[in-house]
Structure 1
Amino acid sequence: AGTDPGDPASVFAILPVSRQTALGPEIRWHSVAGKSYRVQRATALGQAFETVSGLLPATPPVNEFIDKNAPKNRELFYRIVKP
């Protein structure tokens, strides 16, 4: 994912400032030049994740994705994967 194993602050994680917008949940994460990502969503922990984005090229330092097709009024779980 482009993290530095020698740097404890170098982590691959969704940023806690992700928020709800008028169009849907906004998911943000640190990205690395030359990498690509996909966003996946589940409606419950332990359930299968579905891919909700196409291949997203990195836009360092942070990528953003708005899930415009997210179910309304539901708790949702997201993860970022590097194909």
Structure 2
Amino acid sequence: MLSNTCSSNCCYKCSHDLGNTLRLSLTYSMFWNFWKDEVVNLLGYLNGAIRKYADYKKFCLNYLGMLKQSNYRTPLYFVLYLEAD
């Protein structure tokens, strides 16, 4: 039974919106994972390159809106513009 504050149409709409949100989140998650892997591969390639390619690495990080911070074992990469398209 539905509560007094919500009609059956409202509950259907709320559950439908939640389903759309979950589908959208899954799509974004898959998209993010694909590009994250591409960026990690690119950065891995650049890490192994000769020192003269350091400027290209900086350019790629700046272009993708990322910040590199050194950690004890591995560098950490942060996305600077969360709402970038």
Q: Which TM-score applies when normalising by structure 2?
A: 0.29
- Higher helix content, 1 or 2: 2
Q: Which TM-score applies when normalising by structure 1?
A: 0.30
- Higher strand content, 1 or 2: 1
More RCO (CA 8 Å, sep 6+): 1
